[in-house]
DNA sequence: ATAAAAACTAAACGATCGTTCAACTTTACC
DNA sequence: GGTAAAGTTGAACGATCGTTTAGTTTTTAT
């Protein structure tokens, strides 16, 4: 009975996210996810094969099917970690010392650009997933959830900075799109000099969007 | 001698672009490119196999190696067509009846959104290529060229609308990023209702960017 | 200490990948 | 209309894909 193996294996995506499971298997799962993120950035989604993941992680072939039931689920787990990583970073940014909402919006821009600069591999995984979004529903769903919450938070900041409900929502959606565009640019050409230029452009955008409320 | 086959085969990417070659081979090449664009949108880059392309196009396996020397080069040709398609559409938009540059900028937004709505498959191919950009240099290079020219045109319009050189360049880069963000949103969720919302948001952005020069 | 559960290894599996090739058909040209 | 080139076909190739499996080691618990 091959199906029973799944019941035995405790490898679920939630475990690797929480990292609260300190068992040996959890660490192996984490190393496999690491390997995926590294490989997708280097070899693309197509070039990310079981063999390659074993080379990178130094683990044996069978483990992938043992811990995650299949390569696809491992990819999902990697994407889940990427999302969790970003959200944790986002939470830390938002939960910082209270300032004016205008300052907060500027900080958000800095945060996103710094995240992209610090984690190019995670960004690459994200883009790879978006690239296949129309083919694999999983990718689309996971990114959609992130988007919703992100835009909501931004809208709240715009309201706090003086915009009324509808314009705030529009401004949030706009800023969200722009930041995604920034991410794409950083993904395509990892020019460190670009970062400063994008930063000032982003700040200018926030100021322009807030101008009518000044 | 297998290599000599390449010399015989007139299948080059430039041919399929110009479409000036009315030979039988040119049409087959075009049908193969069509199949790629359709398959990538439906099955993703990973799911786009020779077998699948043959199913879609109704052609036989050997043709891909005969006309393009290998699957990779066929993918390049498909990407080249996507870029050419966009640029032709862009040229037509810019070359339209002369108006104020502000109106022109609004038209650019409409154009990009309409293009995305009209050609979701081409957009999907584009995103798939961007997703693998770090792994395959070809993809990065081709998109970079498009970006440069696009931003230059936008900057000229912003200058024409009253902005000085540096702010115009910044505004162009900003609008470019935002439009890419719009494209991503349309790629992820093909909600037709979204289009109008994005349109007004884009127009608002242009107005905000031009506000100081009013 | 010992038995059960979990973790791991590496060989082997069938399926499918992209490519090659010899044979065949269509097109172009004199 | 006949000859050569271009175009096309589908079977076959070796390589590699993701998965399974039997056997071994390590961890956990009594």
- Can you give the three-state secondary structure of chain A, one letter per residue? CCCHHHHHCCCCHHHHHHCCCCCHHHHHHHHHHHHHHHHHHHHHHHHCCHHHHHHHHCCCCHHHHHHCCCHHHHHHHHHHHHHHHHHHHHHHHHCCCCCCHHHHHHHHHHHHHHHHHHCHHHHHHHHHHHHCCCCCHHHHHHHHHHHHHHHHHHHHHHHHCCCCHHHHHHHHHHHHHHHHHHHHHHHHCCCHHHHHHHHHHHHHHHHHHHHHHC
Interface test with B, best of A133, A138, A147 (most B CBs within 10 A): A133
pLDDT at position A193: 78
pLDDT at position B20: 53
pLDDT at position B145: 64
Nucleotide nearest to A72 (CA to C1'): D18
pLDDT interval class at B146 (50, 70, 90): low
A-proximal residues of B, 173-202, CB under 8 Å? 173-174, 176-182, 184-185, 187-189, 197-198, 200-202
Q: How near does any CA of chain B get to the CA of A51, in Å?
A: 16
pLDDT at position A139: 78
d(CA B73, CA B12): 9
Interface test with A, best of B177, B204, B212, B214 (most A CBs within 10 A): B177
Residue of B nearest to A131 (CA): B128
Of B44, B176, B182, the CB nearest to A132: B44
d(CA B57, CA B29): 10
Nucleotide nearest to B65 (CA to C1'): C19
Of B47, B201, B209, the CB nearest to A208: B209
pLDDT greater than 70 at residue B43: yes
Of A41, A174, A198, the CB nearest to B201: A174
Please, are residues A16 and A33 in contact by the beta-carbon 8 Å criterion? Answer: yes
Could you tell me what percent of chain B has a pLDDT over 90?
72
Of A47, A133, A181, the CB nearest to B176: A181
Q: How near does any CA of chain A get to the CA of B167, in Å?
A: 9
pLDDT greater than 80 at residue B97: yes
CA torsion sign, B195 to A159 to A177 to A47?
negative
Subunit contact A46:B46, Cβ cutoff 8 A? yes
- CA–C1' A17–D22 (A): 32
pLDDT greater than 50 at residue B183: yes
d(CA B45, CA B124): 10
pLDDT tens track, chain A, 214 positions: 333 343 334 433 344 444 457 678 899 999 999 999 999 999 999 999 999 999 999 999 999 999 999 999 999 999 999 999 999 999 999 888 878 999 999 999 999 999 999 999 999 999 999 999 888 887 777 676 668 889 999 999 999 999 999 999 999 999 999 999 999 999 998 777 789 999 999 999 999 999 864 4
Burial track A58-71 (b if 16+ CB lie within 10 A, e otherwise): ebeeebbbbbbbee
d(CA B158, CA B168): 5
Each as own residue / partner, the long-range contacts of residues B85-94 (CB below 8 Å, 24 or more positions apart, any chain) are B85/B119, B85/B122, B86/B115, B86/B122, B86/B146, B87/B146, B89/B115, B90/B150, B90/B153, B94/B153
pLDDT greater than 50 at residue B2: no
pLDDT greater than 90 at residue B164: yes
d(CA B140, CA B133): 5
pLDDT at position A146: 67
pLDDT at position B18: 44
Residue closest to B82 by CA, chosen among B145, B147, B18, B37: B37
Integer angstrom CA distances of residue A154 from A198, B52, B107, B144, B172: 18, 43, 28, 30, 23
pLDDT greater than 90 at residue B214: no
Subunit contact A170:B133, Cβ cutoff 8 A? no
pLDDT interval class at B155 (50, 70, 90): very high
Burial of B208 (0-12, 13-18, 19+ CB in 10 A): buried
Average pLDDT in chain B: 87
Query: Is residue A46 less than 8 Å (CB to CB) from chain B?
Result: yes
pLDDT interval class at B136 (50, 70, 90): confident
Mean predicted confidence (pLDDT) in B16-31: 74
B16-20, B147-151, B153-157: segment of lowest average pLDDT: B16-20
pLDDT at position A22: 67
pLDDT at position A12: 38
A-proximal residues of B, 100-139, CB under 8 Å? 120, 124, 127-136
Please, are residues A98 and A50 in contact by the beta-carbon 8 Å criterion? Answer: no
pLDDT at position A13: 39
pLDDT at position A10: 42
| Residue B3 φ then ψ, to 5° | -65, -30
The pTM assigned to this predicted structure is: 0.90
Residues with Cβ < 8 Å from B46, sequence gap 6 or more?
Answer: A45, A46, A132, A135
Nearest residue to nucleotide C19 when comparing alpha carbons to its C1'? B65
**CA B9 to chain CA mean position, Å:** 27
d(CA A213, CA B195): 26
The more confidently predicted of residues A22 and B181 is B181
pLDDT at position B3: 30
- CA–C1' B69–C18 (A): 11
Subunit contact A47:B173, Cβ cutoff 8 A? no
The more confidently predicted of residues B3 and A39 is A39
Burial track B93-127 (b if 16+ CB lie within 10 A, e otherwise): beeeeeeebbebbbebbebbbebbeebebbbbbbb
Could you tell me what percent of chain B has a pLDDT over 70?
87
């Amino acid at each position: 009975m091959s199906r029973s193996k799944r019941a035995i294996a405790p490898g679920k995506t939630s475990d690797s996210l929480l990292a609260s499971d300190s068992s040996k298997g959890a660490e192996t799962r984490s190393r496999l996810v690491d390997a995926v993120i590294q490989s997708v950035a280097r070899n693309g989604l197509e070039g990310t094969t079981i063999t390659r993941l074993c080379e990178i992680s130094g683990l044996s072939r069978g483990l992938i099917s043992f811990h995650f039931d299949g390569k696809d689920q491992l990819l999902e787990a990697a994407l889940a970690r990427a999302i969790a990583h970003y959200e944790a970073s986002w939470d830390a940014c938002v939960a910082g010392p209270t300032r004016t909402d205008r300052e907060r919006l500027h900080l958000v821009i800095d945060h996103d650009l710094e995240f992209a600069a610090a984690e190019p591999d995670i960004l690459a995984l994200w883009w790879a997933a978006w690239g296949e979004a129309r083919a694999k529903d999983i990718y689309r769903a996971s990114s959609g959830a992130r988007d919703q919450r992100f835009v909501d938070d931004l809208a709240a900041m715009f309201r706090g900075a003086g915009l009324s409900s509808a314009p705030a929502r529009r401004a949030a959606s706009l800023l969200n799109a722009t930041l995604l565009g920034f991410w794409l640019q950083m993904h395509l050409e990892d020019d460190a000099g670009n970062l400063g230029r994008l930063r000032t452009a982003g700040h200018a955008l926030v100021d322009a969007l807030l101008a009518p409320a000044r």
